[in-house]
Structure 1
Amino acid sequence: MNLGNGGFANAVMAFERAVRAVDEDAVRSAHRELLDAFRTVSQAEARAAGPQLAGLLDGVPHDLRAHIAVMVGACVERGADAVTCAPPVLANLAEALDEAREFAEYWAAAEGGELPDPASIEPTDFYDGAGVAATLSWWTLDHWIRASLTLMQREAVRRGLTRSTRELLTRRHEAYAKLCGDWRKDLAYALLVLDDEPVVVLHRETGSGYLVRMTGIGDNFQLHTLLADVLIGGGYLPGDAPSAAAAAVCRTVEGRVITRGSLNLVAPDGTWLWNEGTPSDIPVVEGTRMLVLDPPPYLRDWQAGRYFPAMAGELVLERVLPKAEAARWFAHVEPSKDPIETADA
């Protein structure tokens, strides 16, 4: 069936009618038309449809629900309101993580060994033992994570997430991963992203201190590059600043640019903070995150950019700390600890 101009909007209305009528046959037929019409969706149609489809999620049959969530994410990428779309998608993600854990528990008890590849089996193979909801949640979990990551890359969505929601999603993800080893770094890192977060930064060699504020930084590679751009590139610290192109791809520009590390990120207690970690690793001291900068212990190059490509990142210098204020913060600082020596101790 070719719905022509306005076809996606018509398909969404037909799908909504079927869902609200609790007519499963009609829902499945309308779902096929929806997928077909999405191929030619206009930006205006996507903007309107995102919240409409998100609001229907709980009434969609379980095996189709995650696919609709992915479509909601695609609508958000085309301009739909992410804040309106996020709550039902993230609530379903929390439910899917818990039910996928139930499936993993069933598998460990009944089959043992690693979980099968979802692409290699049909979920009906496990209905009797694991239950429909648990099986389908495990089978479609990647879709739920994909849709949720699209939403969480929007700052307004992250700011709307309550602490309890973050903690719930984190607990359920960790419980699932602990059971089956399927730890999703992308989801874990998205739940750790900090926005509008102040950080006291101390430069050990010069004894200087700075207050910076960061938003939307996905990992410490990105943080490292932006710190060097703002503090070295801004003329506050000695060293080699990253190129303007490397700094730009860590903010909003697409792509990757090779850069070289100019700093070593260290916690106040002297332990190193690895580039592979996240800014949430920076400890809180007297209510504010506190970071120490040392010279790089060895040469290290990497592809500068954003761990989450659709997440705009920023780090700005708010002020240079007066010497007396910097000295008060330095009172919390211990000598840097070589990680190899620490591991051997």
Structure 2
Amino acid sequence: MISGNKRTERFRDAVAGFEAAVRAQDADRSQQYFDDLRRYFGEADDQDFRQAGPRLAAILDEMPAAPRATVAVLVGACVERGADPTPCAPYVLAGLAGALDDARAFCDRWAATGGGDFPDPQAEEPPEDLLDRVDPDLAVAWLTLHHWEMAAVALLDHAAVRTALDDGTRTRLLRTLRSVEEDSGYVFKCLAYALLVLDDEPLVVLDRPTGTGYALRMTGIGDNFQLHTLLADVLIGGGHLPGRAPSAEEAAVCRDRPGQVDTIGSFNLVTPLGDWVWNEGTPSDIPVVDGVRLLVLDPPSYQRSWPAGRFFPHMKGDLVLERVLGADEARRLLAGCAAADG
């Protein structure tokens, strides 16, 4: 029987050997230690993961595209086990940007060589004619894009990574991703939603039935199901609005507690122009009016239930009330809002 210390040593040796081989551009040794990395990954302890994450991230751009995507997933797994995401993020997000650009080029080339159904990016075996139609690097980018999604989401789970991502980079990533999705028909929802998460974001909420308004601030909310439950917790549970307040457990799983708990909707979420804000969307769907996102609450038109929780189980979310709007301010804002469509 191999002792626990010996098992973790095998992983540490694999990390060190792989790092050295990649930097030396030694393909044979890189492959050997790459195999060891995957073989012994399950034997590492949390301290090993904390050390390995930044080291593996720092060599991502020095390795070929196919193993680069797999190692990026390992970096994400290290972050999930406690590695600091901040030093890992620039390398993983740069790799994601390159993969998205190449996937965009893959879509163009696929259309130029006859089109048809796109290869399943998660299929065990790619189509036989794939490399006859597209450059190998572009094919690898397409077939590994879901790996980059996994790796990037693991890092974007952390507010420090999201807030360090400048708006220009975020916009470019989303634009390229949407182009790939539109042309291929494949949806990378987790990546899109992670890039859309808002942090320290002001939100003004107007309750039409009571004529009241509230200034709030939201962070790390992955979808509008989560936002809906937290709104009910803060406004109904806080005694500001009538209605059914979520239980403490329903609210907790929308902030930082693991799991899901069934809940019932309390509102219709509506834009100032009267369009519904669907629970299936994200808080970024709420329009900005005079520099702040503005949301209207109407009574629910029908009873709707769902499992309360977080779209991203490892992402902590929160919604806090900063102040209750004065009656005149709330009345003025509501006067500029249209009734809901439908």
Q: TM-score, normalised by structure 2?
A: 0.95
Q: Does 1:253 align with 2:257?
A: yes
Query: Which secondary structure state, in structure 2, belongs to the residue aligned with residue 205 of structure 1?
Result: coil
Matching residue of 2:101: 98
State the distance in 2 between where 1:123 and 1:335 align. Answer: 52
Matching residue of 1:219: 223
Matches within 5 A, 1:120-131: 120-122=124-126, 126-131=130-135
State the distance in 1 between where 2:334 and 2:217 align. Answer: 19
State the distance in 1 between where 2:7 and 2:280 align. Answer: 48
8 Å contact kept, 1:123–1:135: no
- For structure 1, which segment, 159-168 or 328-337, has the greater mean C-alpha deviation from structure 2 after superposition? 328-337
Matching residue of 2:147: 143
Q: Does 1:56 align with 2:56?
A: no
Query: Which secondary structure state, in structure 2, belongs to the residue aligned with residue 177 of structure 1?
Result: helix
Matching residue of 1:28: 31
Query: Which secondary structure state, in structure 1, belongs to the residue aligned with residue 17 of structure 2?
Result: helix
| 1:52 CA displacement | 0.5
8 Å contact kept, 2:119–2:127: no
| 1:37 CA displacement | 2.0
The one-letter code matched in structure 2 to 1:100 is: A
Matching residue of 1:342: none
Matching residue of 1:312: 316
Structure 2 gaps, min length 5? none
- How many residues align? The count is 337
Distance 1:5 1:267, change over 3 A: closer
| 1:177 CA displacement | 1.0
| 1:63 CA displacement | 1.6
Alignment partner of 2:329 out of 317, 320, 325: 325
8 Å contact kept, 1:123–1:136: no
Query: Which secondary structure state, in structure 2, belongs to the residue aligned with residue 297 of structure 1?
Result: coil
Distance 1:69 1:124, change over 3 A: farther
Structure 1 gaps, min length 5? 339-345
8 Å contact kept, 1:210–1:319: yes
Q: Does 1:175 align with 2:179?
A: yes
| 1:117 CA displacement | 2.4
State the distance in 1 between where 2:165 and 2:128 align. Answer: 35
8 Å contact kept, 1:200–1:212: yes
State the distance in 1 between where 2:325 and 2:126 align. Answer: 61
Query: Which secondary structure state, in structure 1, belongs to the residue aligned with residue 53 of structure 2?
Result: helix
The one-letter code matched in structure 2 to 1:307 is: F
Q: Does 1:132 align with 2:175?
A: no
CA-to-aligned-CA distance 1:168-200 (integer Å, 9 cap, x gap): 110110111111111211111111111111111
Distance 1:36 1:228, change over 3 A: same
8 Å contact kept, 2:201–2:218: yes
| 1:127 CA displacement | 3.3
Query: What RMSD, in angstroms, separates the aligned Cα atoms of the two structures?
Result: 1.6
| 1:122 CA displacement | 4.4
| 1:138 CA displacement | 0.8
State the distance in 2 between where 1:103 and 1:268 align. Answer: 40
Identity of aligned residues (%): 55
Alignment partner of 1:274 out of 278, 301, 306: 278
State the distance in 2 between where 1:330 and 1:179 align. Answer: 40
| 1:124 CA displacement | 8.1
8 Å contact kept, 2:7–2:44: no
Query: Which secondary structure state, in structure 1, belongs to the residue aligned with residue 306 of structure 2?
Result: strand
| 1:327 CA displacement | 2.3
Matching residue of 1:343: none
The one-letter code matched in structure 2 to 1:129 is: R
State the distance in 2 between where 1:269 and 1:112 align. Answer: 40
Q: Does 1:46 align with 2:46?
A: no
State the distance in 1 between where 2:26 and 2:128 align. Answer: 21
8 Å contact kept, 1:102–1:130: no
Query: Which secondary structure state, in structure 1, belongs to the residue aligned with residue 191 of structure 2?
Result: helix
State the distance in 2 between where 1:265 and 1:159 align. Answer: 26
